[in-house]
Amino acid sequence: MFSSFGDTILVEVGLHAGFEATTEVANDLIIAHGISAAIPLHSDRLESNSVKVILITLKYKHTIEDASLGFYRSSVHNDNSLFSTVKDYLAVEKGWFSPYLFASGRRPIIPRSMKPDVIFCHGPFLSGDYKIGERLLAESASSICLAEAPPPASTPPGEPDQGHHFSLGIPDIPKLTMLTRSRTPSPEPQLAAVPHPPAPRRIVIMVLGLRPHRVGVWTSSQRPSESVMNYILLSGAPAIVVPAKLGAPLLAWDSLTLEEIWKIELPPDGGASPSGQFEGVVKVLFEYLDMCIDWERVVVPSAPASKAPESPPTAPEDLDPKKFVKRALEVLLVAAVRSGASKEVKKEVDKERSGIAMWRIP
């Protein structure tokens, strides 16, 4: 199945996709039993029995240049230095998302001696990045939406805007009176048009796998003026949508690969994990997103009407948007950890080129 978005991206979804094309709203995973309830660790909806492989061609026109990268290290570490020791100097897992940038003409320069928790990119900007993020969200099996969807683009009724058209008025021919000439009238001053305020943006967070166009050959994904790459979505991992602050990064990814995430020990029902690693990864993601989310625009989901009579009244502190975002991140991480038990996921996904990625979208 093919679809195109203007001259920006071309999408091909396999005929034997692992799950339905429509995205199911999964807000009830974080609200069905109250915000203080245990994480649904054993929910069947968080089990990834299948994957969806999407081949996307991203077209661009700029020349190859360095990507504007930034690095974030969380406060959960005792050592808050971004630079690693000699022992970790050869670690390259943190750049698992780099092929996406490299294939689209943006060189990701990540020093090997650095050990960030999250790597983010501010540019160069491609409109295709927005399209890819939106398409991956649309193709996800489920989503947790904590932000309002943008209104559909439409032309406002009324007369067309004349502010962008310059008309030259021809003044009247002056009359000669006693060999005197009247002065040509000056044009009327016009006020400059007030620029429109920037449109609000969102951030989509998801578990994602990357695969080159030809298996094992990453250079096959970089073609002249276009990037051709396979994106792999898991059936049990919901996408999270949150409102973005002005100036939020264009792209970001957690430095942990799916191979490392599979080793995380899940907490027991209603308790904490013995090692504390699960809570630490959630805190890393939350601390980073805390700087990127426009908290005033977070939409707190409400419980379904059918469950409302059975649920106790919601306390005011349970409506804290930060609790909902943190809860959604916990659900996403649980789904990522549990995907390691799926034979289909291990067969289709490159565990060293997969992890948690984020796109800024309209």
Domain ranges of the chain: 9-149+204-308+317-361
**DSSP letter (8 states) at residue 280:** H
In a 3-state reduction of DSSP, which class is residue 336?
A: helix
The reported pLDDT for the residue numbered 6 is 44
- If we measure between CA atoms, which residue out of 131, 179, 143 comes closest to residue 5? 131
- Which pair of structure tokens corresponds to residue 13? 């979804």
The pairing of beta strand 142-145 with beta strand 239-244: parallel
Q: How far apart are CA 145 and CA 301, in angstroms?
A: 8
The reported pLDDT for the residue numbered 63 is 79
Contact (CB, 8 A) for 119 and 109: no
Q: What is the dihedral of CA 310, 315, 316, 317, to 10 degrees?
A: -120
Q: What is the pLDDT of residues 47-104, one digit of tens each?
A: 888 999 999 998 888 778 899 999 999 888 877 777 766 555 556 688 999 999 998 8
Contact (CB, 8 A) for 286 and 325: yes
- Which pair of structure tokens corresponds to residue 213? 């166009």
- Which pair of structure tokens corresponds to residue 68? 């504007």
Q: What is the pLDDT of residues 128-169, one digit of tens each?
A: 899 999 999 999 988 999 999 887 765 444 444 444 444 445
Q: How far apart are CA 101 and CA 227, in angstroms?
A: 9
Task: List beta partners, residue 57.
Answer: 10, 228
Please, what are the averages of pLDDT over each run of 10 residues along the chain (362 residues)?
55 62 66 56 84 90 88 85 63 86 90 89 90 93 89 52 48 56 71 75 95 82 86 93 94 95 88 88 96 93 52 57 92 94 92 95 93
| pTM for the model | 0.80
Q: Give the CA radius of gyration of the chain.
A: 25
Contact (CB, 8 A) for 249 and 263: no
